[in-house]
Amino acid sequence: MQLSVIIPTLGRKEELYNTLKDLGKQNLDHHSWECLLIVQSETDIERLEAIVDQHQINLRVFYSSAPNASLARNIGLREAQGDIVLFLDDDLIIEKTDFLQAHLTNYKDERLPGVFGQVTDPGVRVRETRHNLSHHPRVGWLFFPPNFNHNGQILNGGAGNLSVRKDWAINVGGMDYYFEKGAHREESDFCLRLTQKYGPLNFDASATVIHLGAAGGGCRNWGKNEGIHPIHHVFGEWYFILRGLFKHKTIKWYDLHYHLGILFLRQIWNQANRLHPLIVLKAINLSITGFFMAIAKLKHKQECLLPSGYKYKLLLEHAI
C-alpha cells in the first residue's frame, strides 16, 4: 500500500521544515511513501532539498499561485502516486514515529474511506470525555473534540490530519475550490460527501499530531476563530450549509437548527463579541453579507478537481 502525504503551505518556513523533519523520522519504509508540498508563496527550494536529502524523503514540490487550500489539496490529489493520501497542515509536531503506520493500519478494512487522526494543541491535555450530542448519528461531528483520546467512527475530519482513499476522494469531486483561501467548513463539505457515499471515517487517537497554529502564514490561518470573523470564514460556513441543503443533500432540513445554532454561536454570539453590543451588530451585518455571497456562489459549478485551464508547476522532484 503506497501513501502520499499532501501538505499545502503558504508563508511558513521553520514550522514547515520541522514538520518535514518529523516525517523523516517515521519508521515506515521510506520507499513506500512520498510527500507532496503545494507551495503558494516564495519558497527556499535549496533548504527543502537539503532537509529531504538528510532525512531520506521522496519529495515533490509544486507551485500554485492561488492562495487556496482546497485547490492546493486537489493538485495533490491529482499528482499523488499513492492509493492512500494523507492531508496534513504545515505547522505540526509529530512525536510518534509510527504516525504514518497508524493511519495505514486502518486500511486493512477495505470498506473504509478514510481516517481522521487526533489533533491536540500545545500544552493541552487530551480529552477522556465528549459532549453527549457528539453521539448524534448525523450531526455529532459538530460537537466532537479532535483531541479525544479514544477511537471511534465519525462523519467529518479536519484536513490537518486526514487520510482518504485517493480514488474515492476523486470520485466525490475532491475538495470544493470555491471555498476561499482556507475557509471554515471546507473539509467538512468534502468529508460529508465522502462519507455519504462510502460510510463513516475511523477516528484514530493513536494517529496523533500537535497543531501549533502558528500566527504567521498558513493556508488556513487567515484570522482568529473568535470575535469578528474574516469574511471568507463567514462565507464558508454559509456556503457549506447552503450547498449541503440544496446541492449535496448532506444536511437535512430537520437538522438545520443545529448548524444555524453553531453558526450563531461562532460568528455572532461568541465570548469576545457578546461583551460589546455594537460588535454583535457588526457581526450580524457581516454574517448577512456572507450569506448573500454564498447565495451568489451557489450558481457556480466546480469543474472537476481544478478550474479549466488552471496552471501550476513542478519546482522540485527529489527521489531516494
Q: Would you write out the chain's pLDDT as a tens digit for each of its 320 residues?
A: 899 999 999 988 999 999 999 999 999 999 999 999 999 998 999 999 999 999 999 999 999 999 999 999 999 999 999 999 999 999 999 999 999 999 999 999 999 999 999 999 999 999 999 999 999 999 999 999 999 999 999 999 999 999 999 999 999 999 999 998 888 999 999 999 999 999 999 999 999 999 997 555 555 443 445 799 999 999 999 999 999 999 999 999 999 999 999 999 999 999 999 999 899 999 999 999 999 999 999 988 877 899 999 999 999 999 98
Q: What is the residue extent of each domain of the chain?
A: 3-217+309-318, 231-297
pTM, to two decimals: 0.95
Query: What are the grid coordinates assigned to 134, written together?
Result: 457528539
Residue 311 one-letter amino acid = K
Give dist(CA 116, CA 250) in Å, integer. 19
Q: Provide the 8-state DSSP code for 228.
A: S
pLDDT of residue 302: 78
pLDDT at 226: 77
- d(CA 101, CA 201) in angstroms, rounded, equals 17
**Helix, coil or strand: residue 96:** coil
12-61 pLDDT tens trace: 899 999 999 999 999 999 999 999 999 999 899 999 999 999 999 999 99
With beta carbons less than 8 A apart as the criterion, state whether 52 and 123 touch: no
Residues 6+ apart with CB under 8 A from 275: none
Tell me the three cell numbers of residue 45.
527550494
pLDDT of residue 221: 43
Which pLDDT score, from 0 to 100, does residue 127 have? 97
Q: What is the pLDDT of residue 222?
A: 39
List the one residue out of 293, 79, 291 whose CA is nearest residue 178: 293
Q: At the topology level of CATH, where does 3-217+309-318 sit?
A: Spore Coat Polysaccharide Biosynthesis Protein SpsA; Chain A (3.90.550)
Q: Sign of dihedral through CA atoms 165, 166, 172, 178? A: positive
d(CA 193, CA 198): 9
